[in-house]
Amino acid sequence: MESHIANMLKKERHAYIIKQINLHNKVLSSSLSLQLQVSEDTVRRDLFELAEAGEVIKVHGGALSKSYHFPIQQNVVYAKDAKVEIAKKAVGLIKKGMIILTEAGTTMMEMVKLIPANMEATFFTVSPLIALELAEHPLLTVILLGGQIDMSAQICIGEKPVRELSEIKVDLCFLGANAIDSKQGLTEIDWRVVQVKKSMIDASAKLAILTISEKLNSAHKMQVCDPRHIDYLITELKPGDKRLAAYRKNITVL
């Protein structure tokens, strides 16, 4: 396997990079260098070529998924059918009068679009794009927790949202997964995003993780929370699917 990776042709490397970006929304050049067993200069050239071709968005130190960065462009949403299925399940957890907390992401956007027009609830969010979509629902109270916008994660980061999150208590928090594992839990690649997500979890009575099944059994270096803090895991799979067996030990799988 290692020799195959090391001998990948450029076309294969590009396909691998796009796959990783679509799965995790953002990749780091340093991580890709280790995974592909090539120099960071080679990775940077690959990312530059992919960006020139309109496949990814090049940023300092790595690249972003176009579908995550521009979720309104539905034609570039990765695994959209699976995300719609996840959204249908997630909406079922929202009840009248609830106080909800959400982050960003294409799956979260699909969920928000499916909220019934007659739903009455209060939504806090750290995502400007999600706040705008929520504002289309006439009976929802929508509160944006502000701060510096991180263009990679599409959420507000820094001291301000963390402080505001410490002052609220919500019934249910919806988070997406950059990576999730049955032993390591939810993990991330950006320390600033980790701090916001940890604060979101601390502010919530219940936590629901929304993720496509391709992200199961993957991990990054920075932990957001371990599995004990996750109440619901929502994927496009049927709850009894064998790929979810390890998660069912500690988490309600939907």
pLDDT at 55: 84
102 φ, ψ (degrees, to nearest 5): -135, 160
Average pLDDT, the chain: 89
Indicate the DSSP class of residue 147.
S
pLDDT digits (tens, 9 = 90+) for 143-152: 999 888 887 7
Secondary structure (DSSP) of 170-229: EEEEEEE-SEEETTTEEEES-HHHHHHHHHHHHTEEEEEEE--GGGBT---SEEEE-GGG
pLDDT digits (tens, 9 = 90+) for 82-126: 999 999 999 999 999 999 999 998 999 999 999 999 999 999 999
pLDDT at 110: 95
pLDDT at 75: 55
Counting residues of the chain whose pLDDT is more than 90, the rounded percentage is 62
Residue 58 has pLDDT above 80, yes or no: yes
| Cβ proximity of 176 and 211 under 8 Å | yes
Question: Which amino acid is it at 140?
Answer: L
Query: Any residues with CB less than 8 A from the CB of 124 and at least 6 apart, and which?
Result: 99, 100, 101, 102, 143, 145, 168, 170
pLDDT at 69: 56
Ordered structural domains, the chain, with CATH: 2-69 (1.10.10.10), 76-253 (3.40.50.10470)
Identify which of 18-22, 66-70, 91-95 has the greatest average pLDDT. Answer: 91-95
Higher pLDDT, 72 or 219: 219
184 φ, ψ (degrees, to nearest 5): -85, -15
Average pLDDT score over residue span 119-134:
96
* Confidence at 223, pLDDT banded by 50, 70, 90: very high
Question: What is the distance between the alpha carbons of residues 251 and 227, in angstroms, rounded to a whole number?
Answer: 7
Beta strand 121-125 pairing with 99-102 = parallel
Average pLDDT score over residue span 226-250:
96
* Tokens representing residue 214 in the block: 């391709």
* Confidence at 169, pLDDT banded by 50, 70, 90: very high
pTM of the model: 0.82
* Confidence at 76, pLDDT banded by 50, 70, 90: low
